[in-house]
Amino acid sequence: MNKLLLIAGGSTLVYACLAWTMGVWPGIELSKIPAGPGVEPLTALQSEGREVYVANGCSYCHTQQVRPLDADKVFGRPSAPGDFKYQTPELLGSERTGPDLTNIGARQPSSVWQYIHLYNPRAVVPESIMPSFNWMFAVVAEAPAGVTPVPLPNNYAPAGGVVVPTHQAEALIAYLAALKQPALPASAAPSASGAPSATGASSGEAPTTAKASASAAAAPVGNYDATKGAALYTANCSACHQASGEGLPGAFPSLKGDAVVNKDDATKHIDVVLNGLHDARVSGVVYSSVMPPFSGTLSDAEIADLIDYERSSWGNHGAPITAAEVGVERAKAK
């Protein structure tokens, strides 16, 4: 009997101590971490949306943890302990079959895009392997008052009637829109490293003078990193404006043949990419979609490559720009 007690009891005692030290005790201590500055609890609708997110296992493909690694920079600033105060159950996830969603409310603020994507992801991202959540929508003959039907592309729309989100879908999209990282106070905004200072020293670019931009404007089309420009477009723009540059009718404006993109004075084009846009009127159509600002995530050089790609693709021939010009516009906004 003593032997039995030693083996079963002894090992269980050892294990209980280790389970306390490595599981329960860190749990107790880390549960006490206060909310970081700007970290707010969710509203009732957003919380409901979070429950929809959990119930349908979204976090088996989408993480909500930004690691302090270069590979994760596209998803936002590194997650901080204070970010998780109101996150129970935790949704850090273990797989990234789809992109991280920690900051998706800032990265993709357009609820119109979110609805189309939720209904059928391939309507906006042809290569996506995310399931369709069309069962969170209803097909009705006519949208009830105050509800905007989802502007699906024709080949994804039902044969008759219009598609409207159910309450479930509305709550989920409200939750996604709430996923925004508040800036960390101690370090400067994450854009600080990417954005050159007024002297232009950080990026080694020429001083941001009008002379520099004038000489750059004279450079021939194609004098930019086309590969980088295309990759940046795919990563940041094509979800809405599509790989063809044509957008989606009624949802996202076309860049192909667009007046701003083809105008030689690129000021407006740069301003839109840097600072985003909402309720824009393009070619007589008002788009309710919000375009996010990229000043925080892309450097001047990257924005120049991106804009030059847009200005030289799909038959566009706007005059190319330089990083210096972007720097000038960025300084103006400050």
CB of 255 to other proteins, least distance (A): 17
Stretches 80-88, 248-256, 278-286, 326-334: which one binds other proteins (CB under 8 A)? 80-88
Q: Which of residues 129 and 140 has its CB atom nearest to other proteins in the complex?
A: 129
Stretches 67-75, 145-153, 176-184, 277-285: which one binds other proteins (CB under 8 A)? 67-75
Q: Which of residues 75 and 115 has its CB atom nearest to other proteins in the complex?
A: 75
Among 187, 223, 234, 244, contact with other proteins (rule: CB under 8 A):
234
Among 38, 131, 185, 207, contact with other proteins (rule: CB under 8 A):
131
CB of 246 to other proteins, least distance (A): 18
Q: Which of residues 240 and 260 has its CB atom nearest to other proteins in the complex?
A: 240
Among 42, 45, 47, 98, contact with other proteins (rule: CB under 8 A):
98
Report d(CA 85, CA 235) in Å as an integer: 30
Stretches 128-136, 190-198, 210-218, 277-285: which one binds other proteins (CB under 8 A)? 128-136
- Check residue 34 and report its DSSP letter: P
Task: Report residue 288 as tokens.
Answer: 């309710």
CB of 221 to other proteins, least distance (A): 23
Among 91, 162, 261, 321, contact with other proteins (rule: CB under 8 A):
91
Helix ranges, 56-133 (H): 104-107, 111-119
- Check residue 154 and report its DSSP letter: G
Report d(CA 84, CA 82) in Å as an integer: 5
Report d(CA 230, CA 157) in Å as an integer: 29
Report d(CA 65, CA 80) in Å as an integer: 9
DSSP letters for 51-62: HHHHHTTGGGT-
Report d(CA 122, CA 106) in Å as an integer: 22
> Are residues 42 and 50 in contact, defined by beta-carbon separation less than 8 angstroms?
yes
Among 68, 185, 249, 257, contact with other proteins (rule: CB under 8 A):
68
Site for other proteins in 41-60 (CB under 8 A): 54-60
Q: Which residues pair with 140 in a beta bridge?
A: 162
> Rule CB under 8 A: is residue 71 a binding residue for other proteins?
yes
Q: Which residues pair with 291 in a beta bridge?
A: 277
Site for other proteins in 147-206 (CB under 8 A): none
* Closest to 82 measured CA to CA, from 176, 187, 182: 182
* Closest to 80 measured CA to CA, from 190, 161, 242: 190
Report d(CA 9, CA 169) in Å as an integer: 52
CB of 105 to other proteins, least distance (A): 17
Among 138, 235, 280, 328, contact with other proteins (rule: CB under 8 A):
235
Q: Which of residues 46 and 208 has its CB atom nearest to other proteins in the complex?
A: 46
Q: Which of residues 135 and 278 has its CB atom nearest to other proteins in the complex?
A: 135
Among 40, 43, 86, 265, contact with other proteins (rule: CB under 8 A):
86
* Closest to 116 measured CA to CA, from 160, 74, 148, 76: 148
> How many residues belong to the site for other proteins (CB under 8 A)?
77
Q: Which of residues 4 and 159 has its CB atom nearest to other proteins in the complex?
A: 4
How many Cα atoms occupy the beta-carbon half-sphere of 4 within 13 Å?
1
